[in-house]
Amino acid sequence: MHKALEHLSEKIIKGEPLNEEKAAEIANLQGSDIFQLFVEANRVKEHFFGSKVHLCSIINAKSGRCPENCSFCAQSSHHSANISEYPLVTTHEILEMAIEAEKTGSKCFGIVTSGTSISNEEELERICTALKKIREKTGIAPACSLGIIDYNTAKRLKKAGAITYHHNLETSESFFPQICTTHDYQQDIETIRNAKKSGMTVCSGGIFGLGESVNQRIEMAITLRELDVDSIPINFLNPIEGTPLVNAKKITPMACLVTIAIYRLILPDKKIIICGGREKNLCDLQSWIFFAGATGMMIGDYLTTSGRNVDSDIQMLEDLGLLM
């Protein structure tokens, strides 16, 4: 199997796509074959990206009271999670967070708001003003995650200075109805298409450990490949009290790493950024994400949960010789 995996990575580097059937076969590897999978995933990553590590940060700019019923999310008004709820923060607060993110080494800074979409003109204008100020005052690349948007909104964000639009599919289309019933999967796909059409790069991925099968994880990867997204954020469920998935079975550290490696082989020339839940699910194997094919990670806090101490993450990168 070691030789077969080496041959497979060579074909992927040459441009031959990995199909669903082969990906499913790889997902069931055992023993030392798993470590060879990581070797080949890392080989593919280094071919396209070298050893560069991409760091990003976010601000939870508007929290809670979301009308969507995503079963993993503490911000849903359908659930009873105990979180801070507040309206859109000021432009100054967004800018200050962007400046701080740049100081800690982040190259991308995301403005994230709860809710189905931004439908309030005053809020949209405030975000556009913040984007302009970030471009004027910093060298960090601003991004937005404002839910479902149309093409005209995408164009406004692009014109204001947004480099990237972030909108997760969350899971595969076949599993999505088990996770969310308040909007349709195709609305998420159309948002991605609108963002790409506007000229923004697109960051779209999902969250693993929701109860989906391995084949459904692969299904989402194939969808992301078909949509030609630019980067893929990978999250692992951190169950939160008050949400329907509070008692979900934890995904193992090795299963997390195998998932990262499979996504690298399916999406060889795309950034793969490891985000929420890595501390809880990867435990002592967090540094292995780069060996398994990841190109970056989110640092700092997430939307409703705390991240690892930034200094600890920077030290980890220094220890790995990856801090550039």
pLDDT tens, residue by residue, 41-88: 999 999 999 988 999 999 999 998 999 999 999 999 999 999 999 999
221: pLDDT strictly greater than 80: yes
Question: What percent of the chain lies above the pLDDT cut of 90?
Answer: 94
Place of tokens 């701080």: 100
pLDDT at 324 over 70: no
pLDDT of residue 113: 97
144: buried, middle or exposed (CB in 10 Å: 19+, 13-18, 0-12)? buried
Cα-based torsion angle of the residue sequence 216, 222, 223, 226 in order, rounded to the nearest 10 degrees: -170
- Mean pLDDT calculated for residue range 285-293: 97
Nearest to 297 by CA among 232, 240, 230: 232
SS3 state of residue 90: coil
Q: Which domains are present in the chain?
A: 17-320 (3.20.20.70)
Q: Which of 39-43, 203-207, 221-225, 299-303 comes out lowest in average pLDDT?
A: 299-303
Give residue 30's pLDDT: 93
DSSP 270: S
What are the pLDDT digits (tens) for 157-196? 999 999 999 999 999 999 999 999 999 999 999 999 999 9
pTM higher than 0.85, yes or no?
Answer: yes
With b for 16 or more beta-carbon neighbours within 10 A and e for fewer, the 184-195 pattern comes to ebeebbbbbebb
> Sorting pLDDT into bands at 50, 70 and 90, what band is 323?
confident
Phi, psi of 149 (to 5 degrees): -130, 155
Confidence of residue 143 (pLDDT cuts 50, 70, 90): very high
Q: How far from 267 is each of 12, 147, 277, 283, CA to CA, in Å?
A: 9, 24, 22, 25
Under the banding of pLDDT at 50, 70 and 90, the label for residue 2 is: confident
98, 103, 105, 110 alpha-carbon torsion, rounded to 10°: -10
What is the reported pLDDT for 301?
Answer: 81
The mean pLDDT value for 84-99 works out to 96
State in Å, rounded, how far the first CA of the chain is from the last one: 35
Residue 43: CB atoms within 10 Å: 17
